[in-house]
Amino acid sequence: MLVDNLPQDEHTIRILLTTDNHVGYAESDPIRTSDSHLTFHEITQIASTNNVDMIVQGGDLFHITKPSKKSMYHVMQSLRLNCMGDKPVEIEMLSDPEVLGSFGVNYEDPNVNVSIPVFAISGNHDDATGEGLLSAMDVLAMSGLINHFGAIPDSENITVSPLLFQKGTTKLALYGMANVRDERLHRAFRDGIVKFLRPDIHTDEWFNFLAFHQNHATHSFTSSIPESFLPRFLDFILWGHEHECVPYPVHNPEMEFEVLQAGSSVATSLSEGEVPDKHIFIMSVRGQDYSIEPIKLTTVRPFILKVLELSKTDLIPGAASKSDVIEYLTSEMELAIEAANTKWKESNPDRTDTPPLPLIRLKVEYSGGYEIENVKRFSNRFVGKIANANDAIQFFKKRQPREQTLNRTKFNAIEENTMNKKSTELQLHDIINDFLKQTQLTLIPEVGLNDAVKRFIENEDKTSLSQYIEKEVKRETKMLLSVDIDEDQFHNGDDVKAKNAFKQLLKEIAPSASIPVEIDIPDIPVPAQEEVHHILDSESDVEILSDDDCAPKAKSRAKPKTRAPAKSRTTRTRNKN
């Protein structure tokens, strides 16, 4: 139960809560290069100053799946300076420490001197990649600096087991769930394959805490996780992934638990969700009660966003008033810069140094025939005054409703879908998603391809597309070779019959496709043998699997027929290298 204050004694567990630190964001920017790791260092300093018992990090510690040496260095430096030392750790771990790995919890390792243990889950930016499927979080855990928990090795059979701690008479059950693609996890909850284990001793005496990293806002029916999917016995949820900071727990009267959306510690986009002040939280737990203390971060660069509508001003539409429009926008930018500097000084009354360059975004609606200037040219007027001197302004028009027409092209439909989004920030993977829905992909799953594009954009994983295509080519080739084919039908008939037979074959191996198979088969020689994987349908989840895991499961087995010589074939398949 949430209360205002709790006594700070030997029965109270103090936890610092943070999430979405995105260390490494904009580190190639000459102005914002240090923003993310300076704020993370401030967070660990707050933990040390306030004498907390542990830090719980809710995912996305790094901004990309393969953080740079600079990012890794600064995170390790902050953890060593502020979370290691001679201060004894007063919480006792009651569960099996080997659930955290062969070395167990770091503060019980005699070779590591930990004063504040850090428990962190993986977010969508912390994906495991490469051979061995290791993430940067695994590297930090092996170094003894953090405890990486909440991994989900099998997304088709999810069992969430808690880490059990005790301090005095207070018992804490710490649950964690690493990020899983929202559609997949939504389906897992719906199908009842997500299980939460509870302690079998003094079951009702534990304070049940869940660290969670999924979509909280409802983007579509299956692309977010409703709070009602989570178990009712939970007391508190630290919800990561969403960057908007809500500085207080929100009670769910149906499920009877509280949810804290802590938000990110650095602005990674110039959008409405990044406008609220950034906070971390110190949570005190005593018995079944807890209290929350928000602490505003002082190293965050000030950010001002203003929405302007030219039609609501005295400006006259047309080319003749272009200079007046630019003058008006320039004055609004100057006012925003002044407001940002004032905001920083009010938040840091004890500091006498110059405020950092602020982030400013003007969103200007210019419908009605107004003439505007190039975005970059206008933004460059404020070099030396703002931190984002290349994209300080965004122009947009209100979309006028228009009647539906039968002759509208596919690309017009794509444009309309993207413009109807609540956010005016157009994202590339949204365009790819809409485009793929209108294509007729039969062999490569559309969902998986869009997911690979999303990882390429958001996580800067440059190998995600090539790895996905290579794996899918292997899957599909293996499935094709495993099908019992009538050689006479393929090789002794004319080209038309062969093409029809191949189309029928595609329908058989992709029975879930809801679109007709229309494929142009060029005359390209067929490779004799290829390594392959089995095909996933459009509802499938994309995973990197071993060849043994990807073996096809046919409903019935037929004796393979003798293959005819390749030179006599008239039907060709497309060979992708």
- Active centre residues (catalytic): 125
**What span, in angstroms and rounded, lies between the C-alpha atoms of 237 and 251?**
10
Torsion of CA 76, 80, 81, 87, to 10 degrees: 150
173: tokens are 């059950």
Burial of 227 (0-12, 13-18, 19+ CB in 10 A): middle
CA 534 to chain centre: 27
495: tokens are 């080209």
183: tokens are 């559609």
Residue 374 per-residue DSSP state: -
Radius of gyration for the chain, computed over Cα atoms and rounded to the nearest angstrom? 28
Phi, psi of 81 (to 5 degrees): -70, -35
Do residues 304 and 333 lie in contact, with contact meaning Cβ atoms separated by under 8 Å?
Answer: no
Residue 527 per-residue DSSP state: P
Residue 315 per-residue DSSP state: P
Closest CA to 189 of 200, 201, 198, 177: 177
**What span, in angstroms and rounded, lies between the C-alpha atoms of 11 and 14?**
10
**Which residue do the tokens 């990649």 mark?**
129
Report the run of H or E that residue 357 belongs to, with start and end: none
> Three-state secondary structure along 425-465?
CCCHHHHHHHHHHCCCCCCCCHHHHHHHHHHHHHCCCCCHH
Closest CA to 259 of 227, 295, 219, 297: 227
Cα end-to-end span (Å), the chain: 59
203: tokens are 């079951």
Closest CA to 535 of 451, 447, 430: 447
Residues 324-360 as b/e (b if ≥16 CB within 10 A, e otherwise) read ebbebbeebbeebbeebbebbeeeeeeeeeebbbbbb
14: tokens are 């103090």
370: tokens are 């107004």
> What's the farthest any 2 CA atoms get from each other in the chain?
88
**What span, in angstroms and rounded, lies between the C-alpha atoms of 510 and 518?**
13
Do residues 208 and 182 lie in contact, with contact meaning Cβ atoms separated by under 8 Å?
Answer: no
**What span, in angstroms and rounded, lies between the C-alpha atoms of 20 and 267?**
10
**What span, in angstroms and rounded, lies between the C-alpha atoms of 434 and 336?**
36
CA distances (Å), 56 to each of 16, 147, 175, 233, 491, in order? 6, 10, 11, 20, 64
Torsion of CA 407, 413, 419, 420, to 10 degrees: 100
